[in-house]
Each structure stands twice: as structure tokens, then as C-alpha cells.
């Protein structure tokens, strides 16, 4: 039976690297993978999944309101899909997560989702909340805080490097905008000694 997987982490833990490696492993064995990423994330260009270590792959994009079950089913008819891999899964809607679950349950295609669990205010993203509730398998991809503890949270920085307390839940940015922290240092809004900050971004 195909399963719905959710691999989650704080920022800069290597989620996209893990996704691209998984896709490569399937394709190396002659299998076909279908990659999806959020259209809103255009850091390296729309329709691309990229990692901080330089790996990059083209992907279809999803937006609010897209029917992912219908799209995957149509693609599967044209060319059988072995596995669907979804990057930036936190941006999925509640209904889109259910659509992916139906792909696993009714079409028998494994769905591997990768995304953030919480935003910079410590709140669950809608897509992540539904995935945590209904995914068959949950996996944590770990990264570390500047202090060496496991980073579970993320803070958003303004252009001067100050921690922001308010703002929209979705604001696309990378290492210049976000810092992953352990719960204690997130609670203290302590991004670490200036000399260590760049090292652990």
C-alpha cells in the first residue's frame, strides 16, 4: 500500500537536498518521479527545486486552488509515476493535502512531502498541520542551533539583522532572512554571537 510521507524540519536543514537525492535514486533505476514545488517560492526561479549545495531540478508548481489529484492522475495516465515528491509542502492547502492522500490511497503512488513545520512565530503552517495529522509516516530532518542543540524553530530577520515579531506568515527568503534556533534561543530571540551567526545560517 502506498503511503503519504511528511519530512519536516526548521530552515536550512537540507530538505531539498534529501528530496532531490530521493528522486535521483528512483530515476537511476529507470523509474519516473513527478516533482512539485510551490509557485510562490521563486528564490532560484519559478518551477525549480534547488538546494544550498548546488543541486537543482525542474518541477511543476502548485498554487492555491490547484487540484493536485486531478493533475497527478492525468500525468500518471500519460507516463506512469513511481513516486511524487513535493517541496515546500507547508504551502499546500488543507484540501491539497487530502488530494495527495487520495493519490496514495486510490492510485497507489507514494507521496513524499518536504517542508517546514512552523513559521517564524512558532505557528503551524496549514499544509504542515494537515500533514502532521494524516501522514502515514513522519520524519524529522534535523539541523542545529548556533549553540549545538537541535534547531526546532526559526526567526525572521529584517534587513538590519534584527528579529521580527510580526508580519505575514509567508515571506520568501533564505539565509539572509531566517535563522534556525533551538526552542530556548528562539524563546529568547537570541541568534547567537555575531561571529557564529554566519557559520550556522
CA count, 13 A, side-chain hemisphere, 7: 18
Q: What are phi and psi of 42, to 5 degrees?
A: -115, 25
Q: At what angle do helices 94-102 and 126-134 cross, to 10 degrees?
A: 40
Alpha carbon distances (Å) from 138 to 20, 27, 67, 128: 18, 24, 24, 11
74 catalytic per annotation: no
Question: Residues 56, 88, 140, 175: which is the catalytic one?
Answer: 88
C-alpha cell at 110: 507514494
Alpha carbon distance 135, 168 (integer Å): 27
Binding positions for ATP are 9-16, 87-90
Cα three-residue angle 66-99-123, rounded to 5 degrees: 85
Can you list the alpha helix ranges (DSSP code H) found in the chain?
Answer: 15-28, 68-78, 94-102, 126-134, 183-188, 194-200
Contact (Cβ atoms closer than 8 angstroms) between residue 178 and residue 145: no
Binding positions for Zn(2+) are 145, 147, 182, 185
CB count in 10 Å sphere of residue 188: 11
Contact (Cβ atoms closer than 8 angstroms) between residue 24 and residue 158: no
Catalytic residues: 88
Amino acid at each position: 500500500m502506498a503511503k503519504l510521507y511528511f519530512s519536516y524540519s526548521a530552515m536550512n536543514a537540507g530538505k531539498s537536498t534529501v528530496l532531490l537525492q530521493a528522486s535521483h535514486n528512483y530515476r537511476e533505476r529507470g523509474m519516473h518521479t513527478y516533482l512539485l514545488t510551490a509557485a510562490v517560492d521563486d528564490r532560484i526561479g519559478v518551477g525549480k527545486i534547488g538546494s544550498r549545495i548546488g543541486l537543482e531540478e525542474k518541477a511543476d508548481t502548485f498554487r492555491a486552488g490547484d487540484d493536485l489529484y486531478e493533475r497527478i492522475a492525468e500525468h500518471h495516465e500519460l507516463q506512469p509515476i513511481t513516486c511524487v515528491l513535493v517541496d515546500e509542502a507547508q504551502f499546500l492547502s488543507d484540501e491539497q493535502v487530502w488530494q495527495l492522500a487520495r493519490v496514495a490511497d486510490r492510485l497507489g503512488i507514494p507521496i513524499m512531502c518536504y517542508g517546514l513545520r512552523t513559521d517564524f512565530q512558532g505557528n503551524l503552517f496549514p499544509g504542515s498541520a494537515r500533514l502532521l495529522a494524516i501522514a502515514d509516516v513522519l520524519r524529522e530532518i534535523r539541523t542545529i542551533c548556533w549553540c549545538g542543540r537541535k534547531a526546532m524553530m526559526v526567526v525572521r530577520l529584517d534587513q538590519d539583522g534584527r528579529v521580527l515579531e510580526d508580519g505575514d506568515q509567508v515571506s520568501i527568503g533564505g539565509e539572509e532572512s531566517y535563522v534556525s534556533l533551538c526552542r530556548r534561543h528562539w524563546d529568547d530571540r537570541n541568534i547567537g554571537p555575531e561571529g557564529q551567526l554566519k557559520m550556522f545560517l
